[in-house]
Structure formats: structure tokens, C-alpha cells
Homo-oligomer: A and B are copies of this chain.
């Protein structure tokens, strides 16, 4: 009815679509043309009904009795996730992690080229790391404009992370991936996603501890990650 209305896809499903996409890429690389929801479910480690339901949010792109076509579904997932184009990335914070991410192959290969890296430390500005020269965070606004950058990645210290976020917002960025262990505040029009590597280990620690306490007879719950951004 309502024209142009995008299907509202549940957050939990959105978080799984990239996983399916990754698996489809692998299937394509091994010349698989078709697959069933059962097969994809096994590869993704989830329930087959969930796979079918997730894919059904995209539309009705399978064939009953046959399955889904790898290339066609790949296309549909990429369209839904906005991956028909590249999104340029700027890294804020040229420390260990920032420089590693600037070089990180997994960003470029999935359509997120790191175009620029900036810092506020005069000692770091001007250094070169893998074909990128560290810029001044003060120039963020012009860099973002000139290089058509959409996404900012924060790899500063905790202390500097909110200032980095403010600078990104000020520069017109609307999507932020934050690695600092801080709950950032930003306008609600900006998507913020935080990955705290320490938290990941702490969650593992919880299960490790539990194993010790219970004598490892307890089951380990499946990993579930929900999409969403603040």
C-alpha cells in the first residue's frame, strides 16, 4: 500500500545477512550455483527456518523444490545492505589498532576502502602507513568533503573518543564504528556501532569461569549478535 516503504527487517536478521553473504561468496568461489536453506543453515550454524525467514524479508527470491541461486541472492542481499557501491572510510586515531585497520584487507575487500587516517598528535601527523599519510584531525571536515567519506572509525584512546566522535559528526559523518570502550553520545541521526574488544574477552571469561565452577557440564549458548546502531 504505502509506496516505497521499505520492509522493516528485524535487527537480528540484519545482523545475519552479512554472514550469509560471506558464505555465498565462498560458495560462488567454489562454483556452487544453487543451495537450499538447509545447506546455508548448516554452513551458518543456524536453524533452516530462520534462514528462510531471514531471506524472505528480502523478497521471495527462492524456487520451491529447488532452492536459491547463489549469484541472484548475493545480489539481493548486497542491494538490501547497501553494498552495491563502496563506502569510503576515515580512521580517527593512528595508534596500533588504527594503523592496523587502515591496512586491514577485510575492509577494502568488502567495499569499505580506508581513504584517510587522522590523529591529533603532532608526532604522528605526517607519518606514512601503507600508502596513507596520517592527517590532522583538524582537517577532518575538508577531508570528509573532498574524499566523499561516509563512515568514521574511531580507534583513539577512551579519553579522546568522544572528541573524535564530535569531530566526525561536525564533519558531516553519519555512521561511526567505535573501538574505544566508551558509550559515545551523538545525535540520533547518526548511527553509532561500538565494538569493544575487551568486552568480547570478558564474555568468554564468563563462560570459562562457568565451566570451572560447574565442572564443564553446562552447555554453551550460541553466539547471537543483533544489529542496530545508536
- A residues whose Cβ falls under 8 Å from a Cβ of B: 4, 6, 11, 14-15, 17-19, 21-23, 43-45, 80-83, 87, 89, 96-97, 99-101, 103-104, 106-107, 109-112, 150-151, 174-177, 181-183, 185, 188-214, 216, 219-230
Contacts and interface: CB of A to CB of B under 8 A. Distances in A.
- Please name the 4 residue pairs, one residue from A and one from B, whose CB atoms are nearest each other, closest first: A82-B209, A100-B100, A221-B228, A224-B226
A100 to B, nearest CB: 3
Contacts of A188: 219-220
Nearest to A89: B201
Contacts of A196: 18-19, 22, 106
Contact of A6 (B111, B200, B213): B213
A222 to B, nearest CB: 5
Nearest to A198: B110
A110 B204 CA distance: 13
A225 B226 contact: yes
Given A22-B198, A107-B198, A191-B208, 14 more contacts: A18-B196, A43-B183, A151-B205, A177-B201, A188-B219, A191-B204, A191-B207, A193-B204, A195-B195, A220-B230, A221-B229, A223-B230, A224-B226, A224-B228
